[in-house]
Chain A
């Protein structure tokens, strides 16, 4: 315990030592607009109405910077409830150790009054673990969002129209209820991980940084948002959008549609959005053999976001429900020996969170997530009980919650303490590894530091 406290104290001191040196430096968008981070963010990455407008208008507000570069660093210490399984095997190494997680470099800003971009390159210090628990490091292209926009009028109301090129379905979205910028929480542990099926649906980050999507959108009267984009794998001439990604799912063609429709209403100190989004992709079962039949995934989602923005109180709620229909028309063989057990299946994700911020410095967030779907012996019955040899589950279901406390001494620095609890893990509510481990044995407490400059 003493060691844990020492480590946490060390981590906090390192961050505090670094923070003052950058407290007057702000990321490239803030330098471009001359505005404080707080104008666009309640707490990074959650956007205010002004931040949404800035993004929808192509990051073009302000003066073009000669070098629109910014950086971000994250470090954490993780404590897992039960560090060994019942056979004494280490489930999560580096318990309680302060570790450097990731560093990102952003090239983000306006190119001219009508074109802007957000490019992120990330070095992941803990991309995996070797047998001796040493870290595998990795660098890759992260989120990419390039926009060209214009403004006009439609039916006497303001109209923003734009083209968007990105590498992660929903990274172009401006609400923090759709997958790419949703609270999952904001920062998690690189060491502890989560259930395999915590984010089961394809639109929920399965294609992040591996696809290229081009689409158009309309933002009318600061109320209605409509978008239609088409995605394909970011390979060949689009490889620059997935640079560094070693392997990824391969989509058939570049015409896999993504759509988004949202209605936003601002009144008084309130901002509400109700929306829907979805995607349909045809995916080759074997990325190494992109020929023949494909499996089809059709995702349909509803989402809602509410913000109460005053000074000093800010309250935000965001939730989404995603339903996925799967047609295993390529992978289904006989339902017995290979592929899925059934020719079709479905998956669902529900996620919600509520955040309170005081004076933009102190924050508390409660989150909940749940995923479930149709049972499938071959896909999900992969963990046998060590006594009976029967699978502990044949369902993709996972469920959990989070509680987080934040301290933001400056708008570009955050310390957070996050507790992640699990009540169901890859279909099982107990005996998740076949050797008596409970979901709550994977509960984690994470001290995070986040710094942008």
Chain B
């Protein structure tokens, strides 16, 4: 038999075996293993500052963000680079399944304070806001332990550089649904931004 025929037979055989294996895998797991783990880590826990922790995020928040990626109403640079393509292939059922899965995973609680003064300032902003600038206490919406709920994101344990980038994205209005956050991010100084992000990562 010619070598080319052996190659074609080999390719077909692997295709057949692979499809048989894939059929046995749950949709949720398939989506998870194919698309999400590389950036967000297994179980939605990552140490990369480029990508957010998904573990323990509110289900409604995850599903909403995925829809915003899909309909391009969230259009910060990294959303376009990484998530527009992924979300374009997800239907409502997939989004619901992913949101359910990640919201049920145990979230990260780093608890590491690298700079006490920065932490204290961040805690003050988070719990009391910045009165003279009209910035409300973040805790009011995001929860006492920054755990989030429903459409409000969990911020606790999130990488500080990721949080800073997102606050800047709100300021640049590239996350259209975050009207409240657009105002907050615009009113806060860079120094306070760092302090707040530092405090939140340590939660």
Contacts and interface: CB of A to CB of B under 8 A. Distances in A.
B11 A34 contact: no
Interface residues of A, number: 41
A290 interface: no
Nearest to B5: A237
B69 to A, nearest CB: 10
Contacts of A319: none
A38 interface: yes
B94 to A, nearest CB: 14
A292 interface: no
A35 B34 contact: no
A358 interface: no
Contact of B89 (A34, A254, A268): A34
Interface in A98-154: 112-115, 146, 148-152
Interface string A24-46: 00000010011110110000000
Interface string A242-266: 0000000000001000000000001
Contact of A149 (B2, B18, B84, B161): B18
Contacts of A149: 14, 18
B22 to A, nearest CB: 7
B35 interface: yes
Given A62-B89, A158-B33, A267 B19 contact: no
A326 to B, nearest CB: 28
Contact of A151 (B21, B47, B77): B21
Contacts of B161: 310-311
Interface string A419-431: 0000000000000
Interface in B27-70: 33-35, 37-39, 47-50
A19 interface: no
B80 interface: yes
Interface in B110-150: none
B28 to A, nearest CB: 15
B7 A165 contact: yes
B11 A35 contact: no
Contact of B49 (A38, A266, A310): A310
A396 interface: no
A49 to B, nearest CB: 6
Nearest to A38: B81
Nearest to B19: A114
Contacts of B50: 269, 309-311
A268 B22 CA distance: 30
A165 B35 CA distance: 25
Given A113-B19, A310-B161, A35 B10 contact: no
Contacts of A169: none
B10 A163 contact: yes
B49 A151 contact: no
A61 B35 contact: yes
A114 B14 CA distance: 8
Interface in B140-177: 161, 165
A34 B87 CA distance: 9
Contacts of B88: 34
A163 B47 CA distance: 32
Given A50-B38, A310-B161, A114 B18 contact: yes
B60 to A, nearest CB: 24
A238 B82 contact: no
B82 A39 contact: yes
Contacts of B165: 311
B18 A57 contact: no
A450 B16 CA distance: 40
Contacts of B80: 36
A36 B81 contact: yes
A214 interface: yes
B3 A238 contact: yes
Contact of A148 (B14, B82, B84): B14
A61 B82 CA distance: 13
A249 B163 CA distance: 56
B38 A35 contact: no
Which of A61, A115, A150 gathers the greatest number of chain B CB atoms within 10 Å? A150
Given A146-B11, A165-B7, A238-B4, 10 more contacts: A30-B85, A36-B85, A114-B18, A114-B19, A148-B11, A151-B33, A269-B49, A309-B50, A310-B161, A311-B78
10 contacts: A34-B84, A34-B86, A49-B38, A61-B35, A148-B10, A150-B14, A151-B21, A158-B33, A163-B10, A214-B7
The 5 closest A-B pairs by CB, nearest first: A150-B18, A34-B85, A35-B85, A148-B14, A36-B81
Interface of A: 30, 33-36, 38-39, 49-50, 53, 57, 61-63, 112-115, 146, 148-152, 158, 161-163, 165, 214, 222, 237-238, 254, 266-269, 309-311
